[in-house]
Amino acid sequence: MQKSIQLKKRPVGTPTLEDFNQVDVAIPEPSEGEVLVRTVYISVDPYLRGRMNEGKSYVPPFQLNDVISSGVVGQVETSKSEHFSEGDVVIGTLGWQEYNLANEKTIRKIDHTQAPASAYLSILGMTGLTAYFGLLDIGKPQAGEMVVVSGAAGAVGSVVGQLAKIKGARVVGIVGSDEKANLIKNKFGFDEAINYKTENVGDALAKVCPNGIDVYFENVGGEIGDAVFPLLNNFARIPVCGAISAYNKSSADIGPRVQGYLIKTSSLMQGFTVGNYAPRFKEGADALAEWLKEGKLTYEETITEGFDHTIDAFLDLFKGANVGKAIVKVSDIQQ
């Protein structure tokens, strides 16, 4: 038997332990063209909260009493595919279980000798690609421009700031603790950091962005976003990646309407999801790997040990507790 995490009921507001069931299920047997994958790392991500609601979004909702799934790095235990051998380290969207069956077409091998296997769930995976395409394709920062990033110590935000620096922009990060403020300045090279819990974000932004804001990478929404709009420069760009402040609201998310700000400044605001860029993933992954190798990019992970803490690691995302990419380590890679 193995452990498996199912969605027990649809969360109302912030998810709690009671919304999930951890159950024992049989370890399945692969059929022709399938492999059995032992879970090594599970990626826990804020966007999964949206899939716990009913109704349409860019990915279909999780079904009740069905296993939760997300990005997983694992190792092939048994292969009935000619493309995979026992011991291969692979990545794919798989269930929150200790073992998963995977069709050979839905996983790919990764080279964990080039970068740590967990990096393929963060800077070299969807997280890094989200930062890459959102910032560079929508935000288009130019040398000397002012880029503001909310959720700046988070998995995506910390990469966004570094990419903006690579492009020669000045970068201000908004975070929720002094510890994170120090981290983004000292480790990720942000020029300035604002702690929204102790500072008035509008006043602080006006001070560190005396010439206005050219790019706002939106991870958070709510009142932090509200504070940015009055400071936009003409032709500003706002990639809208997340609105974590609103994910757990069961009431309406109300604030100043943006139309007037967008008209005054001819600014652009564009929602996106990394999946839109699937045809260009190789371009992004190659660029990120190159910058990582050159030492121009670094990353942070919050690794929670043990499958039994998977739900906790997910719930922690909404407490502002973690830094960088949140990952659960379930087992070791066997050499």
For the bound state, the minimum distance from the C-beta of residue 186 to its own copies, rounded and expressed in Å, comes to 30
For the bound state, the minimum distance from the C-beta of residue 104 to its own copies, rounded and expressed in Å, comes to 29
Q: Which of 15, 71, 176, 242 binds its own copies (CB under 8 A)?
A: 242
Q: Which of 109, 264, 280, 293 binds its own copies (CB under 8 A)?
A: 264
Transcribe 37-91 into DSSP letters.
EEEEEEE--TTHHHHTSSS--SSPPPPTTSB-EEEEEEEEEEE-STT--TT-EEE
> DSSP letter at 100?
E
For residues 127 and 46, is the Cβ–Cβ distance under 8 A?
A: no
**Within a 10 A sphere around the Cβ of 302, how many other Cβ atoms?**
17
CA max distance for the chain: 63
Residues 6+ apart with CB under 8 A from 134: 156, 160, 217, 239, 241, 272, 274
Nearer to its own copies by C-beta: 90 or 126?
A: 126
Report residue 290 as tokens.
Answer: 């190159």
For the bound state, the minimum distance from the C-beta of residue 265 to its own copies, rounded and expressed in Å, comes to 6
The yes or no reply on residue 225 touching its own copies (CB under 8 A) is yes
The yes or no reply on residue 262 touching its own copies (CB under 8 A) is yes
Q: Which of 260, 283, 286, 293 binds its own copies (CB under 8 A)?
A: 260
Q: Which of 25, 166, 268, 285 binds its own copies (CB under 8 A)?
A: 268
For the bound state, the minimum distance from the C-beta of residue 276 to its own copies, rounded and expressed in Å, comes to 6
For the bound state, the minimum distance from the C-beta of residue 36 to its own copies, rounded and expressed in Å, comes to 35
The yes or no reply on residue 273 touching its own copies (CB under 8 A) is yes
For the bound state, the minimum distance from the C-beta of residue 46 to its own copies, rounded and expressed in Å, comes to 11
Residues 6+ apart with CB under 8 A from 297: 123, 159, 162, 163, 166, 288, 291
Considering only residues 180-219, where is the footprint of its own copies by CB under 8 A? 218
The yes or no reply on residue 258 touching its own copies (CB under 8 A) is yes
The yes or no reply on residue 266 touching its own copies (CB under 8 A) is yes
The yes or no reply on residue 23 touching its own copies (CB under 8 A) is no
Distances (CA, A) of 242 to 112, 195, 225, 291, 329: 29, 19, 11, 25, 25
The yes or no reply on residue 78 touching its own copies (CB under 8 A) is no
Report residue 127 as tokens.
Answer: 């997280």
The yes or no reply on residue 222 touching its own copies (CB under 8 A) is yes
Q: Which of 270, 298, 302, 331 binds its own copies (CB under 8 A)?
A: 270
The yes or no reply on residue 256 touching its own copies (CB under 8 A) is yes
Q: Which stretch binds its own copies (CB under 8 A): 76-84, 108-116, 153-161, 237-245?
A: 237-245
The yes or no reply on residue 259 touching its own copies (CB under 8 A) is yes
What phi-psi label fits residue 270: left (phi over 0), alpha (psi between -120 and 50 degrees) or beta? beta
Within 13 Å of residue 81, how many CA atoms lie on the same side as its CB? 23
CA dist., res. 77 & res. 88, Å (int): 8
CA dist., res. 248 & res. 222, Å (int): 12
The yes or no reply on residue 265 touching its own copies (CB under 8 A) is yes
- Chain contacts with its own copies (rule: CB under 8 A): 50, 56-58, 218, 221-222, 225, 234, 240-243, 246, 252-273, 276
